[in-house]
Amino acid sequence: MRPTNPSLSQPSDRKAEDFAPAPTRRAEGLMFLWLAVLVWPLIAVGTVSAYGFSIWIYQILTH
């Protein structure tokens, strides 16, 4: 008896339409711009700010 749940089926039993379509070149370019212009700069600024804040608090508590 074959399982009815597709997540339990064998990989060879999967059909091509079960997989998500490949992203287009335009979608990949937009995702790159989103990451390069917005996400990573915000993460970098947040990381540096958190580090500076932790040093500031350390200096307040130890001096």
Q: Is 16 helix (H, G, I), strand (E, B) or coil?
A: helix
pLDDT band at 37 (very low <50, low <70, confident <90, very high): very high
Residue 14 lies in a domain: no
Residue 57 lies in a domain: yes
Residue 1 lies in a domain: no
Pull the structure tokens for residue 38.
């917005």
Residue 5 lies in a domain: no
Q: Which domain holds residue 61?
A: 23-63
d(C-alpha 38, C-alpha 45), whole Å:
11
d(C-alpha 29, C-alpha 35), whole Å:
10
- Average of per-residue pLDDT values in the chain: 85
Residue 35 lies in a domain: yes
How many domains in the chain? 1
d(C-alpha 53, C-alpha 59), whole Å:
10
Pull the structure tokens for residue 58.
């350390």
Reported as a single tens digit per residue, the pLDDT across 5-30 is 656 556 666 666 667 788 899 999 99
Residue 32 lies in a domain: yes
Residue 39 lies in a domain: yes
Q: Which long-range contacts (CB under 8 A, 24 or more apart) does 5-14 make?
A: none
Residue 46 lies in a domain: yes
